[in-house]
């Protein structure tokens, strides 16, 4: 009977098997195609019924490893779709260890190691982003849950303004809380607002142009019209299509003037503040009430990881606090993160975050972020020099928004069709990978550079492969 207890002696062989396979996978990451065109068929190998009687760990892992070609090489240097980082060696090592140690990083006494490293890692992140020490924070599964954590904190604050304790009273007696934002508002932010029960119908995109830039005068008018009732001003640091920033400093002025809560979604854009040269983009974030970012994007720790900061930790405690006789809520010095974020039992993501910051430090991250932004500018220049390509937005950060615009093609629908097909050809080709979006109503590409492995040679493929495929 293959009870795991009886097959305990397989553990060492299983780890060896996986180490060998992982090393081989990682060694070819720089060169191999980003995506195996047969991946969709390969994964069909996983089928059949639940085994009545298993045949142990080595056999199971061997079956899994046989289908490894189906794994997307999104951890490699030429995956430019979405905004996806890889795992630095330090982060990957610590992440492996995290699974082996299998800590429950919710309650201090369950894992002093994980909780202490979370405290230290959060403080180091605040330092890296030049944000006030002493803000409350929590690691999450990603920016979506970090946005949710920030909204939950803001929701509690808004309740207080109306004389309610939202966690106790619920939302039924609460007037709508308007959320003012730009066209850069992320799909996951909308999801966070929906999960928090604030209603996506209360999100107002105050847009001044086709790119979605904020209409500041309209924000001022909208806040004035509320006459001091609580509102959330939602800024995006790093829009996904063009890497652009909302005018956060001016939004912070208006939020302060009208007593609104300023939330900043800096899923990847917050990292601009780790570079003196790029920091002006994110000026004003230090005046926000809440700020979030991803770990699995530009920090280059493995999935999944994000973090939320709230200027006053009291709001995180209010939104997520609690305890039970057997679950101590923690103290200031020995916090239990189960009561500062949405999850109770939680992975010790802190090991990977701490390890990568410890390994590469402020200088390492500044170099990485500045290199990626320089690569984006380089690609943007190549686009501008290519007669059949058109740059649609300046590369202010690490995203290059462009499209094909062959001579003689003027009809907008025809241009969209050409670009859609070209986008599909890029994915099918597999040397690089990026996706299409709609920018100012046009089908466009938006490769994002955020992997620690990416070099000039990798980035140069964006334009050369695009041109080659277009010529066909
Ligand atoms: C990626 C991203 C998110 C969502 O992040 P997840 O980690 O996928 O949850 C939110 N906001 C912005 C601006 C993003 O780029």
Q: What is the mean pLDDT of residues 316-338?
A: 90
Ligand 1 near 144 CB (within 6 A): yes
Q: How far apart are CA 290 and CA 312, in angstroms?
A: 9
Cβ–ligand 1 distance for 236 under 6 Å, the answer yes
**Is the CB of 84 within 6 Å of ligand 1?**
no
- Tell me the CA–centroid distance for residue 142 and ligand 1, in Å: 7
**163 confidence band (pLDDT: 50, 70, 90):** very high
Ligand 1 pocket member 426 (CB < 6 A): no
Q: Is the dihedral of CA 363, 365, 366, 370 positive or negative?
A: positive
Widest CA span of the chain, in angstroms? 73
Is 92's C-beta closer than 6 angstroms to any atom of ligand 1?
no
Find the mean pLDDT for residues 46-67: 95
**Domain boundaries defined on the chain:** 4-68, 92-359, 362-471
**CA of residue 52 to ligand 1 center, whole Å:** 41
Ligand 1 centroid from CA 144, angstroms? 6
User: Is the C-beta atom of 235 inside 6 A of ligand 1?
Assistant: no
The rounded Cα 16 to chain-centroid distance in angstroms is 32
Helix (H, G, I), strand (E, B) or coil at 144: helix
> Which residue, judged by its Cα, is nearest atom 13 of ligand 1?
267
Which atom of ligand 1 has the smallest separation from the CA of 294? 7
Q: What is the mean pLDDT of the chain?
A: 97
Over pLDDT 70: what percentage of the chain? 100
User: Which H/E stretch holds residue 464?
Assistant: helix 456-471
Q: Is 243 in the pocket of ligand 1 (CB under 6 A)?
A: no
Is the pLDDT reported for residue 324 higher than 90? no
Region of poorest pLDDT, from 42-51, 192-201, 242-251: 42-51
Per the CB < 8 A criterion, the answer to whether 223 and 258 are in contact is yes
CA angle 151, 155, 159 (to 5 degrees): 175
Q: Is the pLDDT of residue 16 over 80?
A: yes
DSSP-assigned letters across all residues of 357-424: HHHHHHHHHHHHHHHHHHHHHHHHHHHHH-TTEEE-S--SSSB--EEE--TT---HHHHHHHHHHHHH
Q: Is 300 in the pocket of ligand 1 (CB under 6 A)?
A: no
pLDDT band at 97 (very low <50, low <70, confident <90, very high): very high
**Could you tell me if the CB of 450 is within 6 A of ligand 1?**
no
Q: Give the pLDDT band (50/70/90) at residue 1.
A: low
92-359 is classed CATH 2.40.160.10: no
Closest atom, ligand 1, to C-alpha of 240: 15
Q: What is the pTM of this model?
A: 0.98
For residues 200 and 223, what is the distance between their CA atoms, to the nearest angstrom? 18
Q: What is the mean pLDDT of residues 270-276?
A: 98
Assigned CATH topology for domain 362-471? 3.90.1150
Number of CB atoms found within 10 A of residue 330's CB: 21
Cα of 240 vs centre of ligand 1, distance in Å, is 9
What does 240-286 look like in DSSP terms, one character per residue? TTT--B--HHHHHHHHHHHTPEEEEE-TTGGGGGGSTTTGGGGTTGG
Q: What is the pLDDT of residues 432-465, one digit of tens each?
A: 999 999 999 999 999 999 999 999 999 999 999 9
CB atoms within 10 A of CB 43: 12
């Amino acid at each position: 009977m293959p009870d795991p207890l009886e097959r305990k002696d397989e553990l060492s062989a299983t780890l060896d098997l996986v180490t060998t396979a992982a090393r081989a996978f990682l060694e070819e990451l720089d060169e191999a195609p980003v995506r195996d065109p047969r991946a969709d068929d390969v994964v069909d190998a996983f089928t059949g019924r639940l085994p009545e009687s298993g045949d142990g760990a080595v056999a199971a892992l061997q079956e899994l490893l046989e289908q490894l070609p189906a794994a997307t090489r999104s951890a490699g240097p030429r995956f430019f779709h979405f905004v996806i980082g890889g795992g630095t060696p330090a982060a990957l090592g610590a992440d492996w260890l995290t699974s082996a140690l299998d800590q429950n990083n919710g309650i201090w006494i369950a894992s002093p190691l994980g909780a202490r490293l979370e405290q230290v890692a959060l403080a180091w992140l605040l330092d890296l982003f030049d944000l006030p020490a002493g803000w409350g924070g929590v690691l999450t599964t990603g920016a979506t849950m970090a946005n949710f954590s920030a909204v939950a904190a803001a929701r509690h604050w808004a309740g207080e303004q109306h004389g309610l304790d939202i966690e106790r009273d619920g939302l039924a007696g609460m007037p709508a809380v308007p959320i003012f934002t730009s066209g850069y508002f992320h799909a996951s932010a909308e999801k966070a607002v929906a999960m928090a029960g604030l209603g996506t119908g209360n999100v107002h995109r105050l847009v001044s142009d086709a790119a979605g830039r904020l209409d500041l005068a309209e924000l001022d008018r909208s806040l004035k019209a509320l006459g001091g009732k609580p509102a959330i001003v939602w800024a995006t640091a790093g829009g996904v299509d063009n890497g652009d920033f909302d005018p956060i400093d001016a939004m912070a002025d208006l939020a302060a003037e009208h007593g609104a809560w300023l939330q900043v979604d800096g899923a990847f854009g917050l990292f601009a503040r780790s570079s003196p040269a790029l920091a002006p983009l994110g000026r004003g974030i230090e005046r926000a009430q809440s700020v979030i970012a991803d770990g699995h994007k530009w920090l280059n720790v493995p999935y999944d990881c994000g973090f939320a900061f709230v200027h006053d930790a009291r709001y995180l405690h209010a939104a997520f606090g609690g305890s039970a006789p057997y679950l101590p809520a923690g103290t200031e010095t020995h916090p239990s993160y189960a009561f500062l974020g949405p999850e109770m039992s939680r992975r010790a993501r802190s090991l990977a975050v701490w390890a990568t910051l410890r390994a590469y430090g402020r200088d390492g991250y500044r170099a990485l972020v500045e290199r990626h932004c320089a690569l984006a500018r380089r690609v943007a220049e190549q686009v501008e020099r290519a007669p059949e390509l058109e740059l649609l937005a300046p590369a202010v950060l690490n995203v290059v928004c462009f499209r094909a615009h062959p001579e003689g093609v003027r009809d907008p629908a025809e241009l969209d069709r050409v670009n859609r097909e070209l986008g599909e050809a890029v994915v099918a080709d597999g040397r690089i990978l990026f996706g299409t979006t709609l920018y100012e109503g046009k089908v466009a590409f938006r490769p994002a550079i955020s992997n620690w492995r990416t070099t000039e040679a990798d980035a140069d493929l964006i334009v050369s492969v695009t041109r080659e495929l277009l010529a066909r």
